Chain A
Amino acid sequence: MNSLLTQPQAEELLYREALLLDTRAFDSWLMLFTPDVEFWMPAWRDEITPTADPDTELSLIYYKGIRNLQDRVERLTSGLSTASTPPPRCSHSITNVLLLQCDAEAAQVSAVFTCHRFEPRMNRQLCFFGRYEYDLRAVADGWKIARKKIILLNDTIPTMVDIDSI
């Protein structure tokens, strides 16, 4: 029987995810998600409204199922993607972590992120920022991410954005 998720546990999970992304430990990063994870970064319908329905509106990224995230990691680390080689250096800062709702099986957490990205290739540094919404699910050995929604606020994409910099 799981106990309720605590604020420090929620923060620890989000910080750990950021560390795994920033250190490019993508295999460990994938372990944070449930097999049926929804990974979603909406596009913007207009100046003030992100798209809300991934089935009828475009998203910047939408995947259902860990298998698709594995594809993204495979491409990113394959050495065959010019855009991903040499890799950028990324640093996530996660703040304003709020435990919105919690019971024994599930929890909802929101947070704010900034990700600074430096691209050695172009000597170019950029910052992406926005909000996270997480649905966490209790599993045998702790909590996993069943849904991650990334609301990217600066959505005019400078050349490219991959899963490592959001």
Chain B
Amino acid sequence: MNISELIDDRPNEGIFRVNRAIFTDQAVFDLEMKHIFEGGWAFLGIAAQAAAPHDFFTTTVGRVPIMVQRDGSGKLRAFINSCPHKGARIAQVRQGNARVHVCPYHSWSFDSAGNSKGVKWKKAGCYSDAFDQDNHGLAPMARFAEHRGFLFGSLNPDVPSLTDHLGEAATLLDLVADQNEDGFELVPGQVTFTYEANWKLQLENCADAYHFTSTHPSYIRVLERRQSELSDDVVASVWENSDYWKEETQGVGGGSYSFAGGHVLNWGVFGVTPAIPLYERAGALAEKFGKDKRDWMFNMRNLTIFPNMQVAENASSQLRVIRPIAPNLTEMRTWCIAPKGESAAARRQRIRQYEDFFNPTGMATPDDTINYENCQIGFSSQVDPWLQSYARGMTASVQGGNTFSDRLGISPQRSVLADSQLCDETLYHSYYRAWRDLMAKGLPA
């Protein structure tokens, strides 16, 4: 198996195609775990998940259990959540506070900086000198770094700095971090769901402007009903106050940006409207950051930080961590991400909008995930292996940015300005070029 058999990238001929096998093949999946998730930077969580001394939270990177912990002095670290003795998982809960972790199997213990606090019955253990040469503490992740409260780690030491990895996309994380002086937090209540399809379907769907009116007509009908019978009893929706996604809308309504490293943004103009909970801060944010950056905070934005993090600010504001489990099974950990210090009314509005749209128990996400499963079933075919879903926008994609990215001071690798019906698919190319670069360590060209 060669990479050229999986990704057909011929920009001069206007061709970009992906082979269905990259979604189904176990060997490809194993290489993805090794070279993408365990071979480069991955998102771990946010600093507010471990806000106080000795707070910790757990996550998974590729197949590896991870614990992020703040020590007594306030320093954050990321460790492999596994006892060096027998390998047992140490922290068994999603989050907590512990000065000392005691392994439940043989009572080896560790302080909140990961140092060994004791090997049970060490003196009586008749250990050789060689044993004393080992570090009995928790193994740290090879790299760990923070950008504005967003925490990333790499199991591979041989990676560029986080600053280089995020590149220009870091400014898009700043749009989340800057919405309040006090930063941002996760609304209590984590929602986890699985779907029986490949992880890259979630990667793509977040950036997919083409599916909205096709996949979500049942939700759009609900919006139309709410619009026609304005009532205080219904969940106020961001979508019903915006026309950018409607097929009859004319002119530039948004577009896409592609960045090095596989990060992408799909965006649209929502306008500064009271339907967005941030509206109460509209004046203050314009004053502090200028109108251009303020307006970007109010734009619909679906951001993917390759390979496992997405922040969707559209119907509400969602943080997603993508965890591949098998070629045809993915776990999604999701939270409502919100600026600290917003009013009770704004927070309530944000939460209601979130549940209504984003939850796997809501009115939109199930129609996405069921379609992922339909794709996964169809991916079994190798009769026509090359998918045709990377072609829209091919003649609209330009090198560099445009007036909208200039206003934010970012320089994407490529950009597309779109009306409501263009629905760029070239932004996926960025995913698969990053994918190809990382997978090249395991697959011949």
Binding site for B on A (CB under 8 A): 41-47, 51, 54-65, 67-68, 71-72, 74-75, 78, 80-84, 121-122, 124, 155-162, 166
Q: For the complex, what is the distance from the CA of A68 to the CA of B225, rounded to whole Å?
A: 11
With an 8 A cutoff between CB atoms, is B369 at the interface? yes
A-B contact pairs, 17 of them (CB 8 A): A41-B361, A47-B94, A55-B344, A55-B347, A56-B187, A58-B188, A60-B355, A67-B233, A68-B235, A71-B226, A71-B363, A72-B363, A75-B218, A156-B194, A158-B193, A159-B360, A160-B366
Which residues of B lie under 8 Å from residue A156 when comparing CB positions?
192-194, 331
Which residues of A lie under 8 Å from residue B369 when comparing CB positions?
83, 159-160
Cβ B191 vs Cβ A82 within 8 A = no
Cβ A62 vs Cβ B189 within 8 A = no
Least CB distance from A151 to B in Å reads 13
Cβ A58 vs Cβ B225 within 8 A = no
Cβ A57 vs Cβ B222 within 8 A = no
Least CB distance from A33 to B in Å reads 13
Binding site for A on B (CB under 8 A): 93-95, 187-196, 215, 217-219, 221-222, 225-226, 231, 233-235, 331, 335-336, 344, 347-348, 351-352, 354-355, 359-363, 365-367, 369-371, 373-374
Cβ B355 vs Cβ A68 within 8 A = no
Which residues of B lie under 8 Å from residue A43 when comparing CB positions?
189-191
Q: For the complex, what is the distance from the CA of A12 to the CA of B109, rounded to whole Å?
A: 55
Our pick among A46, A56, A59, A81 for the contact of B93 (Cβ within 8 Å) is A46
Q: For the complex, what is the distance from the CA of A166 to the CA of B359, rounded to whole Å?
A: 15
Cβ B193 vs Cβ A51 within 8 A = no
Which residues of A lie under 8 Å from residue B235 when comparing CB positions?
63, 68
Cβ B367 vs Cβ A81 within 8 A = yes
Least CB distance from A64 to B in Å reads 7
Cβ B196 vs Cβ A46 within 8 A = no
Q: For the complex, what is the distance from the CA of A72 to the CA of B362, rounded to whole Å?
A: 9
Cβ B191 vs Cβ A157 within 8 A = yes
Which residues of B lie under 8 Å from residue A41 when comparing CB positions?
361
Closest chain B residue, CB of each to CB of A81? B218
Cβ A47 vs Cβ B191 within 8 A = no
Q: For the complex, what is the distance from the CA of A63 to the CA of B367, rounded to whole Å?
A: 20
Least CB distance from B382 to A in Å reads 22
